[in-house]
Chain A
Amino acid sequence: MNDAAIPKDTRSAPAPETSRPKYIGERVQRLEDPRLLTGTGRYTADIRFERMAHLAFVRSDQAHARILGIETDDAATFPGVIAVLTAQDFSEIPDLVAPSRMKNYHPTHCPVLARDTVRYVGEPVAVVVASDRYLAEDAANAIVVDYEPLGASSDPAAALLGDAVFLHDEVPGNLVLERSFATGDAGSAIAGAAHVVEGRFRLRRKSPMAMEPRAYVADYDRGRDALTLYGATQIPGVVRDELAKLLNIAGNRIRVIAPDVGGGFGGKGSLYPEEIIVAALARRLARPVKYVSDRLEDLTSTSQGFDEYVEARLAFDDDGMFIALDAEVIGDIGAYSIYPWTAALEPVQVASFLPGPYKTPHYRGRVRGVCTPKPPTGPYRGVGRPMAVFALERLVDMAAETLDMDRAEIRRRNLVQPDEFPHRIGSGIIWNHSGFTECLDAAVKAVDYSGFKERQLLALEQGRWIGLGIGSYAELTGIGSRIAVAPGMPINTGNETATVRIDATGAVIATFATASHGQSLETTLAQIVAEELGVRPQDVQIVQGDTGMTAHGTGTYASRSAVIGGGAAILTTRALLKKVKRVAGRLFDVDPDRVETGDGEIYVPGTNHRIGFDELARAVYSDMATLPLAARETLESQENYDPVLGTTTSSTHIAEVEIDPETLSIRLTRFVVAEDCGRMINPQVVDGQVHGGVVQGIGVALLEELEFDATGQLLSASLADYLIPTSAESPHIEVIHLETVLPDNPGGFRGMGEGGTIGAPAAIANAVADALAHLGIGISELPITPSKLHRLIAAKNLTKDRE
């Protein structure tokens, strides 16, 4: 892992020197666009079959209650109804359980339909099968469920108290997990430090809120006893593997296909009861079954994210050098520990990433995951790091304020310096070389940083409140098999297998177990294969998201596909190119090393030997006369790539805001991102990922909040209440790409799908706090909204009056 002394360009294995056109690094127009722009994409809800039945779920309207009875007789007589089913009808399907080798972890048992007890509003309790969705909903409305409320604490801190109601018998004290990290002696170091800042930070629960609600269609072939499930999922391979177990079907009789998927952001990255039921019913009823969730169902039953308290203290010396960090994290994991990630995924990453990109010798962090009667939490873009970076970067600004030190300067002093990689932080994460200081310097340079204080004072004189905030972070991406995405979880996400073949017509097909749902993998993976093989990107067909095509693979999440999928693409295509050259060398009767390829042609420079891939394919597959039997090898290669560890991506975000002193509305006036994602496959795609991530981060900071009342009822259950940013709230976003030292993987790629959401909340929180500095108000909870600002200012005025 020691990258430090090795110069650029030798880190990644460079492509062999040829005159072949380069596609990696080019703004290639997307190959998926023509269909998506013309309404000819095929999303799950667009799929239909003859005799297809439709499902409507009856969902709990209680947070935590015992089911006393379910009255279904009336519903069963409704027009079009084929079946009405409750938990007892699915007794053969085991409960969903996410196991983990992690100590101090208690898995939960989640039946596909609530059996005796409901644990969140929105949990499926019964399902109606009907000939039409409207009729299915009519009947679902006629089902009456009799509940006895059991009470529970909606607040995670209260759920930990001795007298709290237990949500699960198997989870004592509602404590699903507990984990601690320690390096050095943070307690003593803080006690002896010259300065300490502290805060209690809160991030409110979010919905990943993909534009396409979750949807599933299953088609059962009775003659072959074979099931095909089409689903809006990021993880078709994980779904296939687990469905085979839960439904007791051999893997070769169940095929899971993610067709065009309308965004995921983590929300489509877990296994859901609805997809199990759709698959099970298609087989039981021997007919196709479809379920498309509506927005209310999506907001109440798709996994949610980011719901933590962090109490943290940062100690530092007179020079602003960090000495120690201490943190208590309480994560509200919701009602169930989700499969496959477990409830540890989000809150444990808060504690493990909290030390951030800085050198802080002493660290102690403890995280507790608490179950509450709310929808289960799962992965959401950024996972853990948005909270960690928000808390830490607020503390860093508070430290700078304490010392009256410049905010960029205190970061510059504490960031891991270019000659200090690899660096192990207090939680054990190892940063390899990435542009920590370079990103900070580039972002600061892009804005009028040194002149800002003057602008701010001038604005204040004019009655305008403006602020500037910095958010610096580092993250691990493209994580290999040695570092689990979540500790001790039941699946291996750390590798990817690619298969690249040239068929009998000379066409190139590259197959992956990734599952693009907006990431542009049909284009970027094609760019890689095209450049390595010597064809054009539009000549490469990328096949993915279909378990019928691959033995194993988990999908697309965790900023993994470019690094791991791209790595597999490079290794596999290079292996195939060797075969191509061997065969062509035989055809041309030259040394294979003299054979070159490019733009779909195979040739020997300086000679008239030149054929197309179609001619090569014909010679190998169809024309029995040209090649001797021994030379007729299959034009297909398959290689696996496992990065073993991960690669470090770093970035600094700078936000400028203006707050209207009358309405307290917060407007973003400038947003700059400087990031190091290594070698870019397609700069336009990288920009798009950064923009989208930043705007989700703006939602985290200023708008989005799944608000629950004390009984666990969701109060923001529509898009009129759960506000995501529109174009009007989103600023122009400036992106600066830095390519410092390339990481040690085949392509020199770093993952960058999530970073925008990681840095933006911290930068915006710091900017808002800066704009309010003259009032002495800090920001410790996100989203910060005009009404919350009003309360903060009113409370401050009240305190002043008392003084």
Chain B
Amino acid sequence: MNAKIDIALTLNGEAVTGRAEPRMLASDFIRDVLLMTGTHVGCEQGVCGACTIRFNGVVARSCLLFAAQLDGAVVETVESLGAPHDLNDIQKAFRKHHALQCGFCTPGFLMTVSEILQTLPLSTDHEIRDALSGNLCRCTGYEHIVRAVRDLVNQRDGVQA
């Protein structure tokens, strides 16, 4: 059970390899083996959403995946978005609307938002709240996160706020 295996994947556009026990969680593998610590661990039960990544293009809880399942996969984490001096539009909207306080849940929210902007109409704030309800935040009360997403949806749809 404890014999390590080789895992090769594409992480944020780069081909990487790492060794891990098959039982290791993908969240721990990304953080402790591949040393990308932007993905956070909040509950290890798939409830809080802090560890949300894109797994073969689809958002997934990295705490509910094993490292072994990442072999051959294309994975994107928060580090795939903009850089501190070159934020992407989602990050800029979060900053503009003060949609983060302690920042611990933020990487998970950013990954979720990156998907729902592509897949959902989000025509009402109610719909935005439903789409975000798989990510927990204890600081913001969600109000400013909803405003940031509303702003992004308006940009996407060419709607004047």
CB distance from A763 to the nearest CB of B (A): 15
- Would you call B146 an interface residue if the criterion is a C-beta within 8 Å of the partner chain's C-beta atoms? yes
| Beta-carbon contact of B41 and A45 below 8 Å | yes
- Would you call B17 an interface residue if the criterion is a C-beta within 8 Å of the partner chain's C-beta atoms? no
Which of B47, B81, B145 is the most central at the interface, judged by chain A CB atoms within 10 Å of its CB? Answer: B47
Interface string of B43-73 (1 = CB under 8 A from A): 1110110100000000000000000000000
CA distance A518 to B139 in the complex (A): 7
- Would you call B137 an interface residue if the criterion is a C-beta within 8 Å of the partner chain's C-beta atoms? yes
- Would you call A225 an interface residue if the criterion is a C-beta within 8 Å of the partner chain's C-beta atoms? no
CA distance A197 to B23 in the complex (A): 60
| Beta-carbon contact of B103 and A262 below 8 Å | yes
| Beta-carbon contact of A211 and B98 below 8 Å | no
| Beta-carbon contact of A732 and B139 below 8 Å | no
| Beta-carbon contact of B37 and A518 below 8 Å | no
- Would you call A86 an interface residue if the criterion is a C-beta within 8 Å of the partner chain's C-beta atoms? no
**Chain A contacts for B47, CB-based, 8 A:** 718-720
| Beta-carbon contact of B42 and A295 below 8 Å | yes
Our pick among A688, A718, A730, A733 for the contact of B139 (Cβ within 8 Å) is A688
| Beta-carbon contact of A38 and B141 below 8 Å | no
| Beta-carbon contact of B143 and A732 below 8 Å | yes
Q: A35-B84, A211-B48 given as contacts; is B38 within 8 A of A692 (CB)?
A: no
- What number of A-B contacts does a CB cutoff of 8 Å give? 188
| Beta-carbon contact of B140 and A213 below 8 Å | no
**Chain B contacts for A587, CB-based, 8 A:** none
CA distance A294 to B47 in the complex (A): 13
Q: A260-B103, A720-B47 given as contacts; is B138 within 8 A of A210 (CB)?
A: yes
**Chain A contacts for B2, CB-based, 8 A:** 79
CB distance from A583 to the nearest CB of B (A): 33
Our pick among A38, A209, A263 for the contact of B78 (Cβ within 8 Å) is A38
> Of A278-286, A693-701, A764-772, which stretch is located at the interface?
A693-701
CA distance A209 to B102 in the complex (A): 13
In chain B, positions 92-114 with a C-beta closer than 8 Å to chain A are: 94-96, 98, 100-107, 110
| Beta-carbon contact of B144 and A687 below 8 Å | yes
In chain B, positions 17-50 with a C-beta closer than 8 Å to chain A are: 21, 23-24, 28, 31-32, 36-45, 47-48, 50
CB distance from A179 to the nearest CB of B (A): 32
**Chain B contacts for A631, CB-based, 8 A:** none
| Beta-carbon contact of A727 and B87 below 8 Å | no
Question: Chain B, interface size: which category?
Answer: 35 or more
Of all chain B residues, the one with the shortest Cβ separation from A721 is B47
Our pick among B94, B125, B143 for the contact of A37 (Cβ within 8 Å) is B94
**Chain A contacts for B48, CB-based, 8 A:** 211, 295, 719
**Chain B contacts for A213, CB-based, 8 A:** 42
CA distance A294 to B42 in the complex (A): 8
CA distance A200 to B146 in the complex (A): 38
Interface string of B110-146 (1 = CB under 8 A from A): 1000000000000001001110111111111111111
**Chain A contacts for B159, CB-based, 8 A:** none
- Would you call B83 an interface residue if the criterion is a C-beta within 8 Å of the partner chain's C-beta atoms? yes
Of all chain B residues, the one with the shortest Cβ separation from A35 is B84
Our pick among A48, A688, A696, A727 for the contact of B138 (Cβ within 8 Å) is A696
CA distance A725 to B133 in the complex (A): 9
Our pick among A209, A684, A693, A696 for the contact of B98 (Cβ within 8 Å) is A684
**Chain B contacts for A34, CB-based, 8 A:** 84-85, 87, 95
CB distance from B111 to the nearest CB of A (A): 10
- Would you call A519 an interface residue if the criterion is a C-beta within 8 Å of the partner chain's C-beta atoms? yes
| Beta-carbon contact of A262 and B38 below 8 Å | no
- Would you call B6 an interface residue if the criterion is a C-beta within 8 Å of the partner chain's C-beta atoms? no
CB distance from B91 to the nearest CB of A (A): 4
SS of A interface (majority): loop
| Beta-carbon contact of B104 and A39 below 8 Å | no
- Would you call A394 an interface residue if the criterion is a C-beta within 8 Å of the partner chain's C-beta atoms? no
**Chain B contacts for A733, CB-based, 8 A:** 141, 143
**Chain A contacts for B105, CB-based, 8 A:** 211, 262
CB distance from A527 to the nearest CB of B (A): 14
- Would you call A91 an interface residue if the criterion is a C-beta within 8 Å of the partner chain's C-beta atoms? no
| Beta-carbon contact of B103 and A134 below 8 Å | no
**Chain B contacts for A133, CB-based, 8 A:** 28
CA distance A564 to B29 in the complex (A): 43
CA distance A590 to B54 in the complex (A): 63
> Of A25-33, A246-254, A619-627, which stretch is located at the interface?
A25-33
Q: A40-B84, A728-B130 given as contacts; is B95 within 8 A of A33 (CB)?
A: yes
| Beta-carbon contact of B103 and A36 below 8 Å | yes
Give how many A residues have a beta carbon under 8 Å from the other chain's beta carbons.
60
| Beta-carbon contact of B136 and A134 below 8 Å | no
| Beta-carbon contact of B106 and A719 below 8 Å | no
- Would you call A724 an interface residue if the criterion is a C-beta within 8 Å of the partner chain's C-beta atoms? yes
| Beta-carbon contact of B100 and A37 below 8 Å | yes
CB distance from A248 to the nearest CB of B (A): 34
CA distance A687 to B32 in the complex (A): 36
CB distance from B105 to the nearest CB of A (A): 5
Interface string of B143-157 (1 = CB under 8 A from A): 111100000000000
Of all chain B residues, the one with the shortest Cβ separation from A682 is B98
CB distance from A767 to the nearest CB of B (A): 18
| Beta-carbon contact of B106 and A37 below 8 Å | yes
- Would you call A520 an interface residue if the criterion is a C-beta within 8 Å of the partner chain's C-beta atoms? yes
CB distance from B6 to the nearest CB of A (A): 18
| Beta-carbon contact of A265 and B138 below 8 Å | yes
- Would you call A633 an interface residue if the criterion is a C-beta within 8 Å of the partner chain's C-beta atoms? no
Of all chain B residues, the one with the shortest Cβ separation from A690 is B141
Of all chain A residues, the one with the shortest Cβ separation from B82 is A38
Q: A38-B83, A39-B78, A295-B45 given as contacts; is B138 within 8 A of A730 (CB)?
A: no
| Beta-carbon contact of B45 and A718 below 8 Å | yes
- Would you call A43 an interface residue if the criterion is a C-beta within 8 Å of the partner chain's C-beta atoms? yes
**Chain A contacts for B140, CB-based, 8 A:** 688, 691-692, 695
Of all chain A residues, the one with the shortest Cβ separation from B87 is A37
CA distance A134 to B67 in the complex (A): 14
- Would you call A601 an interface residue if the criterion is a C-beta within 8 Å of the partner chain's C-beta atoms? no
**Chain B contacts for A725, CB-based, 8 A:** 142
Interface string of B1-16 (1 = CB under 8 A from A): 0100000000000000
| Beta-carbon contact of A730 and B129 below 8 Å | yes
**Chain B contacts for A212, CB-based, 8 A:** 40, 42, 102, 104
Interface string of A209-222 (1 = CB under 8 A from B): 11111000000000
- Would you call A406 an interface residue if the criterion is a C-beta within 8 Å of the partner chain's C-beta atoms? no
CA distance A194 to B37 in the complex (A): 65
- Would you call A425 an interface residue if the criterion is a C-beta within 8 Å of the partner chain's C-beta atoms? no
| Beta-carbon contact of B139 and A692 below 8 Å | yes
CA distance A520 to B102 in the complex (A): 8
- Would you call A685 an interface residue if the criterion is a C-beta within 8 Å of the partner chain's C-beta atoms? yes
CB distance from A670 to the nearest CB of B (A): 13
- Would you call A726 an interface residue if the criterion is a C-beta within 8 Å of the partner chain's C-beta atoms? yes
CA distance A32 to B101 in the complex (A): 9
| Beta-carbon contact of A38 and B42 below 8 Å | no
Of all chain B residues, the one with the shortest Cβ separation from A729 is B133
**Chain B contacts for A48, CB-based, 8 A:** 32
CB distance from B2 to the nearest CB of A (A): 7
CA distance A294 to B130 in the complex (A): 27
**Chain B contacts for A71, CB-based, 8 A:** none
CA distance A288 to B15 in the complex (A): 31
- Would you call A41 an interface residue if the criterion is a C-beta within 8 Å of the partner chain's C-beta atoms? yes
| Beta-carbon contact of A718 and B102 below 8 Å | no
Q: A692-B140, A727-B129 given as contacts; is B100 within 8 A of A687 (CB)?
A: no
CA distance A770 to B2 in the complex (A): 60
| Beta-carbon contact of A134 and B102 below 8 Å | no
| Beta-carbon contact of B102 and A211 below 8 Å | yes
Which of B31, B36, B138, B144 is the most central at the interface, judged by chain A CB atoms within 10 Å of its CB? Answer: B138
Q: List 12 A-B contacts (CB under 8 A).
A: A33-B103, A38-B78, A38-B91, A45-B41, A211-B50, A211-B136, A263-B138, A295-B43, A295-B48, A688-B139, A688-B140, A727-B135
Closest 6 CB pairs of A and B: A39-B38, A262-B104, A36-B103, A518-B102, A691-B141, A695-B141
Known: A39-B107, A43-B104, A212-B40. 16 other contacts (CB 8 A): A34-B85, A34-B87, A36-B100, A38-B91, A39-B78, A48-B32, A211-B102, A518-B101, A518-B102, A688-B141, A691-B144, A692-B101, A693-B141, A725-B142, A728-B130, A730-B142
